[in-house]
Amino acid sequence: MRELIKFAAASAVILFSAEAYAAGPSRLMTNNGQTVFTKTVSPGGIKLDVASPQASPAGSVAMKADESTESFEVTITVDPDNEGKNKIPQGVWLIKDEYVSYQSMRKAVNKFTVPAGDYIAQIIFTNNDYVGSILFVPDIKVDGPKDIHVNASMADKKITTAFTLPSGEKAVLPEDNGLGGVADKPYNIATITADIHLTFDGISKGSVQSVIGMGGEKYSDLLTLRTNVDSPRGEVSYVVKADAPGSDGAKYFYLGATTMDKVGDEIVLTNNVRDFHKVSDIEIAHSPAYGTNGNDNKTLGIDFYAYSAASSLVGAVSAEIEGANDLYICTPAVDFSNLHALAKMYVVDYADEDEWIFDGITTPYFAYNGSDFEFYATAEDNSYSSDEPGWEKVKCNPALTFANAAGIKFGDNFAACVTAVQTDPWADVPFSYIAPDCYYGNYGEVRGVDLDLFEFSVKHNGTPLEVTEGQSLYDWSEKWAATDHEPGVMTYTFTNRNLIVDGIQGQNICEVSFDENADDTMPPTLQRVMIRDANGNVTNRFASPEGATIAVMGADFEKHQESRDTGAWPTTFTYYSSLEAACLIEYAAHGSSDFHEFIVENDFQKAFSPGFGNYFSGSLDQIDVQSADNWYDLRITFTDQAENTQTQTISPAFKIDRLTSGISDIETHDNGFEVAGNAIHAADGSAVRVYTLSGAEVPNSDLRSGLYIAVSAEHSAKIAVR
């Protein structure tokens, strides 16, 4: 579920605990473990709102401290600044590394008992005339009791931001008329939202977000961050959204950043007008659910993120529009080796009446690559997004990257289902069950709406079990766990019909089976299906199959949980390792049950973790069965070593207007060739040249399993290497 955030037009400052960002901006307000302070500045007064105390994150477990490590008390005292103010900070953190930190909120004297070691301290103020101050005290060696004094006046460097419109005009916000209203003066920007982050050695435990709706030409003063950091170990970033006036006004997004060694007494980070790129032309189709569950909403949303070189989320801003707004991103070419910006867009297909909780279709991440927008596949939308214990990181799978192209319409294609084991250890009878974890389209778009609408049935040892009409999968599983039954083979079938493809009613039927008596009760899962034409463009509609390819990613995943003492609280990290699973890919004429196997190869160089697994690919040139409406279905089966299976039928999957002539006319039998020693040999002893089905010549040695074209002096044939 996506949850809306609606900011007031007044100026505001929000402090977030860093771990609260894990789910992205659309869930910042609800994650466990966050501490939020809001400072509202509006005509007529200043108001400070303090949220509820910090809570432990879900999944926390009790842990004993390492008794072999000696601990000492560290006291961080915040003294009044040079004007006798700012004695109470919003937050103080004593940080050992990315995982281990200790925190104290709204106290002048902050005491921490910590194991010996090297630390840094972070102190954040937001109750001053600027957006805030962030202090870092580096290189604290704890080998005995420590007494550290800081004050807000130590923050003697200033960083702010200013925005320039595509026209070259400088941004101007409304001005306060001094009477609690807006002055009668021209302005071209209604609000600016800035998510401001300062890291030290790549680490930070809090950031400041400010929403500015006043300030005229001097609004930058209200976005000024103060700090004491002056070395390249510190990096500051402003993730910014600017809103033009009016309900149909344009929305602009940009990322400004610098390392602190490049800052003198102050610096203004701004955008470069040459880096504006329009994104509102990206097309997203509504699913059938919109007609019955969309409540006529016209929402188009965009999330704009900043990530570090280590793929950790730094900051984010978002916007929702319902008019003819133009959307722009203003960034240079993406550089994943440094701080970089990525974006997503979404539509809403399923909304309750007040539009508080809704789901729809979301594009994959995209960014400007120097010539156009490029789309990137990540696993952050499903359970398998981590392959090591730690805070989640967003890593892009290069094998599934594709450039923007004419005709791309997200959501206007099939759905592929990822399944996962869900558990509830806190129920009266703890239980586990299999459930759809996410649905993805051919472009890698996330079909979150499908998770609201799938139907399910269950068998036990081949016998159908009763499911009450309207009963949720969770409720059914909880009830089943409490029944007295002999463990056996469980088979779940999930049916998703929230698809219309080329006017055809589509569906995904996903069947998952496992034996409750086995040591391994976690079935493998498909992760992605991507079909491309001969030029590498992602599509599922072809004039002919020549050069077109299908790629399927998936694996058997093994779940791990590791508890770490993260200082402020002990935390259990859940992550997955990727194991081998056999993959069978078949095709059939649309609506037919006559499936034929694709010969595919497992390209180990394109295996990717976390969240994807192995990469199986084959050529659509293998298709030699006509389809009455030119559409074809796919059936994909993964089988792990414990014989657990996932089989899903995707209908319709792709369209071919005419089968290929030429390569497809070549005989598919030995015809004077034989395979020996992973090479193809001619019976007459002549030299053999070997080509892939897409026409690329490959060395005739160490051939992987797959289908090839063999050419000798006298013959040519399709030869299968197994």
For residue range 647-694, list pLDDT tens digits in order. 999 999 999 998 864 444 455 556 789 999 889 999 888 999 887 765
Taking residues 457-462, report their average pLDDT: 97
Q: Is the pLDDT of residue 243 over 90?
A: yes
- Residue 13 is predicted with a pLDDT of 52
Q: Is the pLDDT of residue 14 over 70?
A: no
Share of the chain above pLDDT 70, in %: 87
For residue range 497-532, list pLDDT tens digits in order. 999 998 999 999 999 999 999 999 999 999 999 999
For residue range 413-436, list pLDDT tens digits in order. 999 999 999 999 999 889 999 999
Give the integer Cα–Cα distance in Å for 342 and 306.
6
Domains and CATH numbers, the chain: 2-57+156-371 (no CATH), 71-154 (2.60.40.1120), 399-656 (no CATH), 666-721 (no CATH)
- Residue 668 is predicted with a pLDDT of 53
Which residues are bridge partners to 462 per DSSP?
A: none
pTM summary value:
0.85
144-158 as b/e: b if 16+ CB within 10 A: eebebebbbbbbebb
- Residue 660 is predicted with a pLDDT of 60
Q: Is the pLDDT of residue 56 over 70?
A: no
Q: Is the pLDDT of residue 302 over 70?
A: yes
Average pLDDT, the chain: 87
First to last CA, the chain: 45
Q: Is the peptide bond before 430 cis (omega within 30 degrees of 0)?
A: no
Residue of 53 and 418 predicted with greater confidence:
418
Name the band, by pLDDT with cuts 50, 70 and 90, for residue 209: confident
Taking residues 341-348, report their average pLDDT: 96
Single-letter amino acid, residue 716: S
Residue of 46 and 651 predicted with greater confidence:
651
Give the integer Cα–Cα distance in Å for 159 and 235.
11
Name the band, by pLDDT with cuts 50, 70 and 90, for residue 279: very high
Find how far residue 18's CA is from the centre of its chain. Answer: 17
Question: Which of 178, 126, 172 has its CA nearest to residue 152?
Answer: 126
Q: Look at 274-278, 481-485, 508-512, 706-710 and tell me which has the smallest mean pLDDT.
A: 706-710
Residue of 707 and 605 predicted with greater confidence:
605
Classify burial at 685, counting beta carbons within 10 Å of its beta carbon; exposed 0-12, middle 13-18, buried 19 or more. exposed
